[in-house]
Structure 1
Amino acid sequence: MIDHYPAAVRTGHALPAQAQAPSASRDLTLAELSSRVLASLPRSDQRRKGLQYLDGLLTVQGRKSIRNIAKLLGTQASEQNLHHFICDSTWDWVPIRRALAEAVDDALPTRAWVVRPMTIPKAGQNSVGVGQHFSPALGQTLNAQRAVGVWAASESASVPVNWRLYLPSSWHTDDARRSQAAVPEGASAESLHGCAVEASRETQLGWGLPVRPVVFDLDEAPEPLLETLATSHAPLMARVGEDTLLTVVDRVMGGREQSPLPAHRIMAMAGNMRRPVPHGRPLPGRVQGMPLAAAVRVELPAYPRGSEHRQLVLLGTGDYGSRWPAELWLSNLTTVPMEYLARLRQLTARAARDAAVVADRVGIRDFTGRSFTGWHRHVTLASAAHAVTMLGDPARQLPHRVR
């Protein structure tokens, strides 16, 4: 069993000045969630260290390093033990993630699995997966780790439940580097979008979770992901670039069937089809405008009609009085109302906000070690800390408690 007491009681030390006093609701949620998600750890000392690490992620201000978390325990030996628990132990993070996904899916309830990237800037070259990455948002090249997270998302909250670390090509040819970072032999080369697809498959299919739409909130979908949209029977939706070529097959836009056109031009021509769509639950601090959306049935021009590839729907979104379209999305959900697709898109905004406001606060990017296994264990427990923050907030009025 895991001790269900606040940090100061468990460790025998008063919380230091830099720690944040937890609320009763948060402590209760921590006790309930940790009992469920840490149950796969085989030893009681591992479950105790897991709970201590969670407490540190939730209470320490500033960087959530192993050293800063260990200060809550009061002795230098505790730092060594905690470092071993995260970086050198043998416990498997996958059962913890699966239990977390099941608990969060029960509590929200989940509307969709939102798949989104995470960039972690790094100063050196030794952290696992670090490489050069050009950031369009910043207009510069970063030295960074890149990962893909799968988020259980609802209108009221979102929580990351699975992660896949992207390894640049340089990490697949340097055996010494892989050995130093303890990269397993099974970690083969794949694109960032390949990471996204595999992470979503593991989460929903591999773990036997309920089938829900998967929304890929990436920069834009490349050709392999577009083909996945057209061939998969799973409900999928992906952000696409303005220049993505598509063939219109929608009867309301007759006469365009034979000419592949860029997605932004198709949606510009569909401007008179725009309709207001519900906001859903508003995000805190957001100035509400009038969101608009339009949907057009399309096909991929590389796969002619009559092939095994399915028709798709192109969704354009934007706000009244602003540039149209602001965003473009492609989905294989061709039989649902346009408003449903618009609500799926709104879940990506929910996940983006929660990533910035909550995940970063509990240290999702703060792992300072070098190892592949250490990174995965840290982000797993940081995801659980994120869940405690979201589910333990009474202001969110979530429909279910963690069971």
Structure 2
Amino acid sequence: MSAPSLERLETLSSRFVPDLVVDELCAELFASLPRSDQRRKGEVYLRGLLKAEGRKSIRNIAAHVGDRAAEQSLHHFVVSSTWDWGPVRAALARYLERAMRPRAWVVQPVVISKAGTESVGVARRFVPERGQMVNSQVAFGVWSVGEEQSCPVNWRLALTQKWRDSVGPLSPNVHESELATSPLECAAGAVEELRDWVGQSRRPVVFDLPDVDPAAVAGRFGPAGMHFVASARGSMRVRCVDPVLPSSGSRELAAHQLLLMARTLRRPVTWLDPVTLQPRTTLVVGVRVELPQAPRPLLLFGEWSDPRGWPEQCWISNMTQAPPGGLLRLAKRAQNVEADFANISQKVGLTDFGGRSFGGWHRHTTLASAAHAVRMLTQRAVERQV
């Protein structure tokens, strides 16, 4: 029998939400909530995210439940209740440790376009990928990534000074890094919190943050003993310290220029494309380099699809003894996150919260991350049955 199409699997899994998975996950997620009515509302909201039609607003979720009083009750539970989302995310992280055995964590930003100006964290921002100013929220997600699947676990919402001033005094559950002023500090706080939840200090972290200086990532995570791979621009200035390229001297070069000098050392690497689900082979080479402000040498590696041109992508890692092929496969896990965000997260309403409440945004996003986990695990069960 031929392999089922991705569209067919998505259709089957959207219809098939096993009560056993939801019951098991809810029992762990909501154990920290002190009241039985809160635990019950949490399960109702989670099931609504999985089954309600259209945009996953509180109104649509309540309509799916079919109870006129449900909208006000669920609104209070998500927007103005005081339950702490941290322990719920910690429970989700530990659940995923068992269910999917993550190989890495991936940090990616999400730009959420907004029509109005009232949603928490919204501001006019220039988005390089779109080449224009966008009225938007920007969130930084940390995803647990297994062999072929990924799930968001922890989040930070980027806040302008106006929003930081309004959020701080009103939200008792705010982690200090929630009010960070830079993307790196937002991401670092979320990663460190997740690390503490699951007790994993050596799991590699892939930073898919094109606007963050890799040297800053090295300075932030290297001294803590955390392994990382960070996307880098080809124009980044580096100094080669690798004896395989004695001709480079000690002068600073652009990263893509140095990698081009090492092109005779490239090796083919095969990896699984998460969009087509087909293996792909590209070329990779790694060179040890020094970066200004970085505390110790790092490994620069680059990838080619066309061997005749410049490297198409570059990364920096502090895992200098690891083979570049293994690091390339690790970096490619960011593509798993992109695919799962489009195919699962958006369909369970992760970006659908539209209120002013900072706590409401975090509670909704936490429950939507749990809904993503259910859909992901359901899809795995469907694949086994097809």
What TM-score, normalized by structure 2, do the two folds share? 0.89
Give the C-alpha shift of residue 154 in structure 1: 1.5
Within 5 Å, give how 1:126-165 maps onto structure 2: 126-165=118-157
Is it true that 1:63 corresponds to 2:49 in the alignment?
no
Give the C-alpha shift of residue 55 in structure 1: 0.6
Q: Which residue of structure 1 lines up, in the alignment, with residue 187 of structure 2?
A: 196
Moved more, 320-329 or 94-103: 320-329
Give the C-alpha shift of residue 34 in structure 1: 1.5
Deviation digits for residues 310-332 of structure 1 (CA, Å, limit 9, x no counterpart) = 21101112324585311111000
* Structure 2: 5+ residue stretches without partners: 1-12
Q: Which residue of structure 1 lines up, in the alignment, with residue 3 of structure 2?
A: none
SS of the counterpart of 2:64? coil
Q: Which residue of structure 2 lines up, in the alignment, with residue 255 of structure 1?
A: 247
Is it true that 1:338 corresponds to 2:324 in the alignment?
yes
Within 5 Å, give how 1:50-89 maps onto structure 2: 50-89=42-81
Within 5 Å, give how 1:91-170 maps onto structure 2: 91-170=83-162
SS of the counterpart of 2:283? strand
Q: Which residue of structure 2 lines up, in the alignment, with residue 299 of structure 1?
A: 290
Give the C-alpha shift of residue 125 in structure 1: 1.6
SS of the counterpart of 1:290? strand
* Structure 1: 5+ residue stretches without partners: 1-19, 304-308, 399-403
Deviation digits for residues 96-154 of structure 1 (CA, Å, limit 9, x no counterpart) = 10110111111111000101111111122221111111111111110111110000001
Counting helix residues as a fraction of each chain, which structure ranks higher? 2
Distance 2:132 2:303 in 1: 28
Amino acid at match of 2:16: S
Within 5 Å, give how 1:1-400 maps onto structure 2: 22-23=15-16, 26-172=18-164, 175=166, 186=176, 187-205=178-196, 207-209=198-200, 211-222=202-213, 223-228=215-220, 230-279=222-271, 281-285=272-276, 288-302=279-293, 309-320=295-306, 323-393=309-379, 394-395=381-382
Moved more, 180-189 or 116-125: 180-189
Amino acid at match of 2:186: C
The alignment's C-alpha RMSD in Å is 2.4
Q: Which residue of structure 2 lines up, in the alignment, with residue 12 of structure 1?
A: none
Q: Structure 1 vs Structure 2: percent identity of aligned residues?
A: 43
Give the C-alpha shift of residue 169 in structure 1: 2.9
| Aligned partners of 2:219 and 2:293 also within 8 Å | no
| Aligned partners of 1:314 and 1:330 also within 8 Å | yes
SS of the counterpart of 1:390? helix
Give the 3 Å change call, closer, same or farther, for CA 182–271 of structure 1 in structure 2.
Answer: same
Give the C-alpha shift of residue 254 in structure 1: 0.8
SS of the counterpart of 2:69? helix
SS of the counterpart of 2:304? strand
Give the C-alpha shift of residue 206 in structure 1: 5.2
Distance 1:256 1:75 in 2: 71
| Aligned partners of 1:221 and 1:241 also within 8 Å | no
The size of the alignment, in residue pairs, is 370
Deviation digits for residues 48-88 of structure 1 (CA, Å, limit 9, x no counterpart) = 11111111111112100000000122222110000000001
Distance 2:14 2:150 in 1: 24
What TM-score, normalized by structure 1, do the two folds share? 0.85
Deviation digits for residues 353-380 of structure 1 (CA, Å, limit 9, x no counterpart) = 1011110010000002110000000000
Give the C-alpha shift of residue 207 in structure 1: 4.7
| Aligned partners of 1:133 and 1:143 also within 8 Å | yes
| Aligned partners of 2:118 and 2:355 also within 8 Å | no
Distance 2:238 2:230 in 1: 14
SS of the counterpart of 2:344? helix
Give the 3 Å change call, closer, same or farther, for CA 184–97 of structure 1 in structure 2.
Answer: closer
SS of the counterpart of 2:105? strand
Amino acid at match of 1:353: A
Deviation digits for residues 33-59 of structure 1 (CA, Å, limit 9, x no counterpart) = 111112111111111111111111111
| Aligned partners of 1:128 and 1:181 also within 8 Å | no
Give the 3 Å change call, closer, same or farther, for CA 142–31 of structure 1 in structure 2.
Answer: same
Distance 1:284 1:218 in 2: 21
Distance 2:328 2:151 in 1: 20
